[in-house]
Structure 1
Amino acid sequence: MKLKKYSKVLSTLAVSALLLAACSDSSSSDPGKGKTAKKPEQVDTAAFPAKVSNDKADVDGSLTYGLVSDTPFEGVLNLAFYAGQPDYEVLQFFEESLLSTDDNWVYDQDGAATYELSNDNKTITIKIKDNVKWHDGNPVTAEDLEYAYLVIGSPKYKGVRYDSQFQLVEGMEAYHAGKADKISGVKVIDEKTISITQTQANPSMLTGLWTTPLNKKYLGDVPVDQLEKSEKIRKNPIGFGPFKVKKIVPGEAVEFERFDDYWKGKPKLSSVSLKVVNPQVAVASLEKGDIDFAVVSADQYDQAKALKNIELVGTVDLAYSYIGFKLGHWDADKSTAVMDNPKFADKKLRQAFAYAINNKEVGERMYKGLRFPANSVVPPSFPEYHNKDMKGYEYDPEKAKQLLDEAGYKDTNDDGLREDPNGKEFKINFASMSGGDIQEPLTKYYIQQWKDVGLDVEMLEGRLHEFNSFYERVEKDDPKIDIYMGAWGTGSDPDPSGLWATTAPFNYPRWVNKENEELLKKGISPEAFDMEFRKDVYNQWQELVHEEVPVIPTLFRYSLSGANKRVKGLKIKGGQVEDWYEVAVTADTPEK
């Protein structure tokens, strides 16, 4: 399953490209049923390194990157506007943020800019290094970062990056409301220096602050509400990353060439060719040497591990899969979620849905251990904040039936399916996206398990939905969708407000909860500079989400990729390639 992308930090803004994998016995709707059903061999995820082992001498060569997807990439090629994982995979080669992060996802001084934090922890001063240039040759300036704040904070901005971190910037509220022409808390000091002041001290200043500039000279003549659809973003994007865009075949392929004036120095690869590769042939393409790198899904793991010309690398991903309930709608005029759908208002009903499904079986049998049950909406890739002691919704169909009985959902006509508390037919439309051979069997598996406890769930319109159109309908709160199966790349900032605040566009369930808002605010309060305080807040928050179940977290994921043995310097961090500048090849052609 491809992920929707939230994260706003990291020069690499990662999402995993991992796809739902094929089940070895898709004839059964339940991987735990049937005489022939056997637990498959589990993948020893600890055996995979995070970095390729090739240490031969570099050659000045090119690399072919396989974007594993059964749909075209949308082509929103700017970090301030994109939302889906396929577009990110294109962006990673030519766009980046000014500040880089250390192994704990905290900003360090090794990026394209350095920073200083004021004594009161309210103001960060960012100084861009002198040799940082856009691909058009112009220098990256402080005004370019200011312009990013002016665009994202604009009331005409159509994207999804305007979140709690932006709202904390001093003067942002007045600017966003159209009452000011500038943002008082964003000050250009000189050509290379800018300060950003927030209304309160906030620990996410060093993990979640937006530090990705927009090329003001290039984009400034395009109205804000037209930027996302402009040719300057979709056809001729400009960044300051290690590679620049040479040619785009919309939705299918991109040719990148080395940016010789990259601030770190001359990248090791002369060029990169990116092409969309269907999940079913990704490993075969690696085997033939048609591509040098691709994500490997669980259904193709056995085939991939047998190849002699590739090396498998991987880490636990900054991501989770989930099943979401549509609890309301998005009020675009007020930029807020409104929880007004009575269908799933009873949390006992939502809890019953969670107890009815067996994610342990799914992880073991469908994914060979490359997925494992998610007990929380904070993945274990945040070891300091993931509440590992919290018990998730383990498979308990009797508990599910009990909760449904208590909530008044009973089978009143003896047809095996429950009616609602008013005795009326209770049908649920389940939306699921395409992506990998297992998606349909998995969707049907969940449907069957819900049916086993008396819930009448049907696949929306009897089919899977293409990634882009699926999320368009979810975002627009299509009334035909009752529940949906999605996945999030969380980003590297532990603050979950961008996905869960009432004012967050990415709050797709449209969950509104007073305690949720209070805990999210505490998590980025001055007191949260105390690590133990912040951990306690996020533990409470995870328990609240578990209790209220606006979504059912289903699976955490291990990101596994295959790299041709001629690839050198490639390292995976949080499910993504950490730095394409460092990647090289040691032969002119791929091993086959």
Structure 2
Amino acid sequence: MSKEKLRLLVLAIVASFVVLLAACSDNADEAGQDTGTDDESDDVEEVEEDGDTEGLYSIEDFENIKGEDEAIIDGGELTYGLVSDGPFEGLLNGNFYGRNPDAEVLEWFDEPIFTWDENYVYTNDGAATYEMSDDNHTITITIRDNVNWHDGEPVTAEDVEFAHEVIADPDYDGVRFDSVLQNVEGIQEYHDGEADSISGIEVVDEKTVKITYIEATPSLVTGGIWTYPLAKHIFGDMDVADMSSSPEVRQNPIGFGPYKVESIEPGESVVYTKNEDYWRGEPALDKVTLKVINPDVAAEALKTGEVDMVSSFNVDQFPDNADASNLTWLGTIDRAYNYIGFKLGEWDEENNINIYNPDAKMADANLRKAMAHAIDNDTVGERFYHGLRWSATTLIGPSHPQFHDSENEGLVYDPELAKEILDEAGYEDVTGDGFREDPDGNELVMNFASMSGGDTAEPLVQYYIQAWEEIGLNVQMLEGRLHEPNSFYDRIRADDEDIDVFQAAWGTGIDVDPSGLYGEKAFYNYTRWVNEENNELLAKGLSEDAFDDDKRIDIYNDWQQLMVDEVPVLPTLYRAILVPVNNRVQNFAVGDGTGYYRYQVGVSAEEPEVAE
């Protein structure tokens, strides 16, 4: 498919969908129509046909900090919009949550014990300080004396130990017992019931704990340490199996962050009040109200002052709202990417391991590679996202510039090459219906799952499907529709056998180590792909040799190339974060290592500004 054909295809899909929306808009409220949470809209015609960059933007155009340009008033209140197509799940504890909306709720009232700098290395500026032993196997963590839970009880070394014990308990129903926790000495024996305690954790005194790790890895100080304590005085007498559903997690959560939870409307809103005993100092605001808002109305809610700021903003909507007089736009490169995944196995819950199925429909890497070559992510990023998302090449993105292999071009758009790969692999149109059969001559139909979202969520899926049709592959939208995000991820996690291909996005965390997403024991390895070379490279990336940055860069370059060659996951788009804030909001930043924290956020006026 040529660039011009792609341009015309994208515009035709969007135009047809706009007509459909116009026809349905008068009855949308009556019918309860909900367009979802993915962040697209129908305004994709900014780029001129001759290839001009008019209407395109760059993340480099944005600052990521809004300091105190006006004096903060005393006793201010702020409304925070959690942009989501559906309710937040309500697992409001760092040890149990699994999805980003809950993390957004948590950030106002809880926090990890460590902060990190712009290079994602833990600092000693957080609620705890640390020292590593000379052999890099043992960390000594000291919690500050003035760090207390919201009920006044101190955060203790036993709370750190208790969090590890709960996550390692066989009855724990969360997703945190991964490679990070499994690296703690003796934790596997505790998990397996062979020990009554975790030998690698020593509580030295009320505020000091030592943790010894099996492998000394460079990732220990960039995300390889579990940093959410669990209040033992609250959860200590509770059965582990009951914790995630308890009122102490869902209705009355506790933390040691700058604000306390005053009330919760499950899935919809949270009211916070200031924690005057916060260890960094008294927060600037008296009250924060978090409310879920649909992405379709986020821009209007910001311009009318209904909300002061939002958790995220659909970058495709930026051109229509860039000149809003009451907003300041902040931006940075996101630690996230969009991707297309291929289902290749299943999760063994009993043994906490991914099981690869060599007979899976999508098991042939040639098929996956051809599908990758069939789509033009450069043009998708320009047409759908105005340049604020751009073609992804490897699975370590530019948010980690030290390790992102910028010279690796990934699987470039080349539909003719895609056809050649399929031809050579034996995928031929035996029946003459325009679609290829598999190498054994059997009908090949692939079910493609994607989330509901903004106005172009479906057109984007239709583009992928038509691009694959151009190379002779029959890909169908799962059940003929998009799926609400929570149910979508429930089905992905459960390895729904009706799903062959899916589109989603990953936030990668601060640690460059990809084991938590693509390791053999990683629950979040949703493709369930397992590969010996992958295991070896991931292990090397965490070895003592990898303390040498140059060696670690080489290891992760090799890993990025392996993932290009095998394509269990196809990264499609790197992402910019855009966060508009009301002009009255002061001391807020997006991104890492900025030195700004939530307790500093304040407002310079009683009421939010309204767009002119």
CA distance in 2, matches of 1:422, 1:521: 37
The 5 Å alignment of 1:196-345 reads 196-208=211-223, 209-294=225-310, 295-340=312-357, 341-345=359-363
Q: Is the 8 A contact 2:436 2:444 kept in 1?
A: yes
Match for residue 129 of structure 1 among 144, 147, 154: 144
Give the match for residue 58 of structure 1.
72
The 5 Å alignment of 1:450-529 reads 450-529=468-547
**What SS does structure 1 have at the residue aligned with 2:361?**
helix
Cα deviation, residue 18, structure 1: 9.2
Cα distance change on mapping 1:577 and 1:366 into 2, 3 Å: farther
Match for residue 445 of structure 2 among 427, 430, 433: 427
The 5 Å alignment of 1:431-446 reads 431-446=449-464
Whichever residue aligns with residue 191 of structure 2, its letter is H
Cα distance change on mapping 1:438 and 1:248 into 2, 3 Å: same
Give the match for residue 10 of structure 1.
none
The 5 Å alignment of 1:358-377 reads 358-377=376-395
Cα distance change on mapping 1:79 and 1:523 into 2, 3 Å: same
Cα deviation, residue 19, structure 1: 4.3
Q: Is the 8 A contact 2:382 2:389 kept in 1?
A: yes
CA distance in 1, matches of 2:589, 2:242: 37
Cα distance change on mapping 1:575 and 1:117 into 2, 3 Å: closer
Match for residue 42 of structure 2 among 23, 44, 58: 23
Listed as ranges, the gaps of 5+ residues in structure 2 are 1-35
The answer as to 2:406 corresponding to 1:388 is yes
Q: Is the 8 A contact 1:523 1:534 kept in 2?
A: yes
Cα distance change on mapping 1:164 and 1:177 into 2, 3 Å: same
Q: Is the 8 A contact 1:170 1:184 kept in 2?
A: yes
Which string of whole-angstrom CA distances, capped at 9 and with x for unpartnered residues, describes residues 222-270 of structure 1? 2112222222111111010111111100111110110000010101111
Match for residue 397 of structure 1 among 412, 415, 423: 415
Listed as ranges, the gaps of 5+ residues in structure 1 are 1-16
CA distance in 2, matches of 1:430, 1:361: 21
The 5 Å alignment of 1:2-81 reads 19-24=38-43, 41-60=55-74, 61-81=76-96
Cα deviation, residue 221, structure 1: 2.2
Whichever residue aligns with residue 87 of structure 1, its letter is D
Give the match for residue 188 of structure 1.
203
CA distance in 1, matches of 2:412, 2:593: 26
Give the match for residue 553 of structure 2.
535
Q: Is the 8 A contact 2:38 2:451 kept in 1?
A: no
CA distance in 2, matches of 1:455, 1:78: 44
CA distance in 2, matches of 1:359, 1:251: 34
Q: Which runs of 4+ in 1 moved over 3 A?
A: 34-40, 574-578
Cα distance change on mapping 1:56 and 1:378 into 2, 3 Å: same
Q: Is the 8 A contact 1:318 1:574 kept in 2?
A: no
CA distance in 1, matches of 2:104, 2:382: 28
Cα deviation, residue 53, structure 1: 4.8
CA distance in 2, matches of 1:583, 1:577: 12
Cα deviation, residue 47, structure 1: 1.9
Cα distance change on mapping 1:195 and 1:364 into 2, 3 Å: same
**What SS does structure 2 have at the residue aligned with 1:429?**
strand
Cα distance change on mapping 1:457 and 1:25 into 2, 3 Å: same
Whichever residue aligns with residue 371 of structure 2, its letter is F
Whichever residue aligns with residue 198 of structure 2, its letter is I
Q: Is the 8 A contact 1:18 1:559 kept in 2?
A: no
Q: Is the 8 A contact 2:37 2:86 kept in 1?
A: no
Q: CA RMSD in A?
A: 1.9
CA distance in 2, matches of 1:200, 1:287: 51
Which string of whole-angstrom CA distances, capped at 9 and with x for unpartnered residues, describes residues 161-187 of structure 1? 111121111111211111111110011
CA distance in 2, matches of 1:510, 1:70: 27
Cα deviation, residue 157, structure 1: 1.6
Match for residue 176 of structure 1 among 171, 187, 191: 191
Give the match for residue 115 of structure 1.
130
CA distance in 1, matches of 2:55, 2:367: 35
The share of aligned pairs that are identical, in percent, is 51
Match for residue 569 of structure 1 among 577, 587, 592: 587
Whichever residue aligns with residue 344 of structure 2, its letter is L
**What SS does structure 2 have at the residue aligned with 1:270?**
strand
Which string of whole-angstrom CA distances, capped at 9 and with x for unpartnered residues, describes residues 294-324 of structure 1? 2221232123211010100010000011000
Whichever residue aligns with residue 456 of structure 2, its letter is I
**What SS does structure 1 have at the residue aligned with 2:573?**
strand
**What SS does structure 1 have at the residue aligned with 2:372?**
helix
Q: TM-score, normalised by structure 2?
A: 0.91
Give the match for residue 167 of structure 1.
182
**What SS does structure 2 have at the residue aligned with 1:430?**
strand
Q: Is the 8 A contact 1:54 1:566 kept in 2?
A: no
Q: Is the 8 A contact 1:318 1:575 kept in 2?
A: no
Give the match for residue 426 of structure 2.
408
Whichever residue aligns with residue 421 of structure 2, its letter is L
Whichever residue aligns with residue 287 of structure 2, its letter is S
Whichever residue aligns with residue 449 of structure 1, its letter is A
Q: TM-score, normalised by structure 1?
A: 0.94
CA distance in 1, matches of 2:490, 2:398: 29
Q: Is the 8 A contact 2:38 2:452 kept in 1?
A: no
Cα deviation, residue 25, structure 1: 5.4
CA distance in 1, matches of 2:440, 2:381: 37
Give the match for residue 6 of structure 1.
none
Cα deviation, residue 534, structure 1: 0.9
Of 207-216 and 291-300, the range deviating more from structure 2: 291-300
Cα deviation, residue 44, structure 1: 3.4
**What SS does structure 1 have at the residue aligned with 2:588?**
coil
Cα deviation, residue 430, structure 1: 0.3
Whichever residue aligns with residue 478 of structure 1, its letter is D
CA distance in 1, matches of 2:173, 2:595: 29
The answer as to 2:396 corresponding to 1:378 is yes
Cα deviation, residue 36, structure 1: 11
Cα deviation, residue 575, structure 1: 11
**What SS does structure 1 have at the residue aligned with 2:410?**
coil
CA distance in 1, matches of 2:508, 2:68: 31
CA distance in 2, matches of 1:463, 1:222: 42
Which string of whole-angstrom CA distances, capped at 9 and with x for unpartnered residues, describes residues 67-115 of structure 1? 1111111111112221111111111111111111111110111000111
Q: Is the 8 A contact 1:324 1:484 kept in 2?
A: yes
Whichever residue aligns with residue 298 of structure 1, its letter is V
Whichever residue aligns with residue 22 of structure 1, its letter is S
The 5 Å alignment of 1:576-587 reads 579-587=597-605
